[in-house]
Structure 1
Amino acid sequence: MSVQHAKPVILEPGKDALKHFSGSRECGILQQDIYTAPWPLSPKVSPFCGRRAGLLKALGSGGRYGFDEPFVGRGCTYRWFETTEICMILGRFNAITFIGDDITQSIYGAFNILLREDLALGSLQQWIMSDEEKAKCRCHSQFLNTECQSFAIESINDVKKNEGSDRKGSPYFCDNVPHAYIPVNSFPSSPSSQRSFKDLIYGKLNPWQPSPMIFSFGHASDFNTDTTVQAMDEWVNLATGAERNIPMLFLGPPAIGLKKVAGSASGSGNFAVWNYYKEMMPIAKEKRVAVLGLYNLTLQSSSADGEKFDEKVALVEAMMIINWLSKLETS
C-alpha cells in the first residue's frame, strides 16, 4: 500500500491523531496523554523547532511538568505528525535502519505501530501468534513483556510478505521505503548483522538520496564509553564503505527508573547513565554523528522494572526521530 503526497498537516491543540488507531480505546492511549501541542506565544513565533540542531538540543534538554505528564522540548518542541505526513517524510529516503540494542528495538517497534496505525499489536507479527499469545502481548505488553519480543517485527518485509489474500493483522499505511531493525549487542558485530545492513543499503541506485541510520549501544555496552566508541566506529566505517549518503543519529540512553534492581547491570544508576551520555555526546559529534538524548524524556516516566518503558514512551521516542528525519537534507 502506498499513499500520495498531501499537504503537510500541523495538528491543532486538542486534535487527537491516535484516536482512530486500532486498539486506542483498549490500550487507553490518547494523544493528550503523551503530547501537548503548544499554543504559540506570538503569532510571529512558532513553538516548533526550526532547525535540526535546535530540535535535538531542545529534545535532549526538555522535560515534563509532573510525573508522566507529556514531554515538552526546551525553548521549542517537536511536532506530532499524522500518518499521511509521516509517509511523506519517509518517502524522501532510500532506506532507514535502526541499529543496536533493545533501546533501538523498542523505538523501531513504535515506528511500526505508527505506520500500521495499530496500538494493540502494531509492533508484532500477530499472524504467527496464537490467541493466547496475542492476549498476553497487547498494548504496553509489547514493550514490557520480554516473551513478546520473539514476535517483534524486524523489517518491513515481515509485514509485506503477509499481505497476501489471507492477510491477518494490520498492513502499513505506506510501504514504499525499506526499513529494518538490525540487532547489535556486541563489538565486533556479527557477520549476519553487517550482511543485513549491506543488503539493505549498498545496492541502492541513488547514492545521494539519504539512507538514515539510528544507532544505540548504551545498554549493549553497559554504559562503557570505550566499547561504544569502537562499535560506533565500526558502523561509521560500514556506512562510509557504502559510498552513500547515510546521516547517523546516536541515541543517548534513557534514565534508570526507581525500580531498577540493585546489584544488576548498571547498578550505579543514573550517575553512570548521565556520565556516559555526556562523554559520548562530543565524541559522536566529532564523528559527524548527530545525538538525541533520551535521559530527560524518561527521567519522570513510570517504569515497571526501572529499565523498560511502556508504549507511550516508545511512541514519543519514535515521533522525535521522525521529526529529525523531517529536517534532513535530501539533495
Structure 2
Amino acid sequence: MMRHVIGSINVLIRKNLGYGAVTDWNFSDEERRDCFCNHQFNVKACSIQGIFKTADVLAHDPESLACPASMPIDVQIEEMVRFPIDEEELRRYKESLGTTKPKKPYVFIFGHGLWNDLDVQATLNWLDKVVAETTTFFPRLMLTPNASGKKKPVEWRETQGNEALMNFEESIRVEAARRGVEHLGTWNMSIQSNKFDGVHLDLKGNMVKAMMVLNWLNMLDVSQY
C-alpha cells in the first residue's frame, strides 16, 4: 500500500496523472496502453514498474519533474515487509541514509500493509526495529491501512476487515505517539472510496493519501531540523 502512496506523490511531482507513478520512459506501446491512469495501480504488471526513487527519474526523464533543479527533491522507498526484518533489507535501508547529516532534512514515512493480519505487537516490534535504525531528530510519520471494501475475500474479513482495521488504527496511533512518531490514519478517509479488489484504493483514493502526506509535510518547520 505504501508503494501506491509513493506512486501518487510521484504523480504530483511529475504532474502526470496518466503515467506519473510508473517508469513510462521505457514502456512499449502496449504498456502505454495497458498502464494508463488507474491501471498504474490496479494492474499488477504495471504496478511492479513503479518508481522507487527520484534518482531514476533524474536519470531517465528529468524534464518530467515539476520541481526546479534549484530545489532538488529525493523521494525513495525501501520495502521491509516482515519481522524479523531481513538483514539485506535492513542493510540497504541504512546505506540509503548515509553517514553524514544531509544538507536538507529527511522525513521518514512508515507505511503498513496487511502482511501480519494487523497483529499490533508484531507491528510494534517491526516499528521499534526500524525506528532504532532511523535518525531520531528528523520528522517521522506512520500510516496505517485504509478501509476494506465489499470485494474483500470472506476468509480475510475477520482478521483484516473494517472492525479489525479500526481497532488496529486506534492502537497504533497511541503506541506511535509513545515512540515520538506521528500517525496518519486512513480508514475514515477511505471507507467510501472505490477499492477494485476490496483492499487497494484506486488512483483517486491514493492521490488523497498523498495530498494528506504533503499537507503534513507543509506543516513542518524545516528550520528546526
* TM-score normalised by length of structure 1: 0.62
Q: Runs of 4 or more off by more than 4 Å in structure 1? A: 265-268
2:119 maps to amino acid: N
Structure 2 counterparts to residues 103-142 of structure 1, below 5 A: 103-142=1-40
Whether the 8 Å contact between 2:35 and 2:43 is mirrored in structure 1 is yes
Work out whether 1:213 is the aligned partner of 2:108: yes
1:221 maps to amino acid: N
Whether the 8 Å contact between 2:117 and 2:159 is mirrored in structure 1 is no
Whether the 8 Å contact between 2:118 and 2:160 is mirrored in structure 1 is no
Q: Which has the larger radius of gyration?
A: 1
Structure 2: how far apart are the matches of 1:146 and 1:206? 35
What is the CA-CA distance between 1:204 and the residue it aligns to?
4.1
Query: Structure 1 residues 193 and 281, CA, compared in 2 at 3 Å: closer, same or farther?
Result: same
Structure 1: how far apart are the matches of 2:38 and 2:158? 24
Whether the 8 Å contact between 2:35 and 2:46 is mirrored in structure 1 is yes
Query: Structure 1 residues 267 and 222, CA, compared in 2 at 3 Å: closer, same or farther?
Result: closer
Whether the 8 Å contact between 1:218 and 1:224 is mirrored in structure 2 is no
1:283 maps to amino acid: E
What is the CA-CA distance between 1:129 and the residue it aligns to?
2.1
Residue from 83, 103, 106 that aligns with 1:187? 83
1:278 maps to amino acid: E
What is the CA-CA distance between 1:260 and the residue it aligns to?
0.9
Work out whether 1:203 is the aligned partner of 2:96: no
Whether the 8 Å contact between 2:107 and 2:139 is mirrored in structure 1 is yes
SS in 2 for 1:257: coil
5+ unaligned residues in a row in structure 1: which ranges? 1-102
What is the CA-CA distance between 1:122 and the residue it aligns to?
0.5
Query: Structure 1 residues 238 and 119, CA, compared in 2 at 3 Å: closer, same or farther?
Result: same
Query: Structure 1 residues 152 and 268, CA, compared in 2 at 3 Å: closer, same or farther?
Result: closer
Partner of 1:31: none
What is the CA-CA distance between 1:267 and the residue it aligns to?
5.0
Whether the 8 Å contact between 1:222 and 1:266 is mirrored in structure 2 is no
Query: Structure 1 residues 171 and 203, CA, compared in 2 at 3 Å: closer, same or farther?
Result: farther
Work out whether 1:249 is the aligned partner of 2:141: yes
What is the CA-CA distance between 1:304 and the residue it aligns to?
1.4
Structure 2: how far apart are the matches of 1:191 and 1:130? 36
Partner of 1:239: 134
What is the CA-CA distance between 1:140 and the residue it aligns to?
0.5
What is the CA-CA distance between 1:161 and the residue it aligns to?
1.2
What is the CA-CA distance between 1:152 and the residue it aligns to?
0.6
Alignment identity in percent?
Answer: 29
Work out whether 1:294 is the aligned partner of 2:212: no
2:75 maps to amino acid: H
5+ unaligned residues in a row in structure 2: which ranges? none
* TM-score normalised by length of structure 2: 0.90
Query: Structure 1 residues 266 and 187, CA, compared in 2 at 3 Å: closer, same or farther?
Result: farther
Per mean C-alpha deviation after superposition, the further-off stretch among 273-282 and 186-195 is: 186-195
Structure 2: how far apart are the matches of 1:245 and 1:190? 25
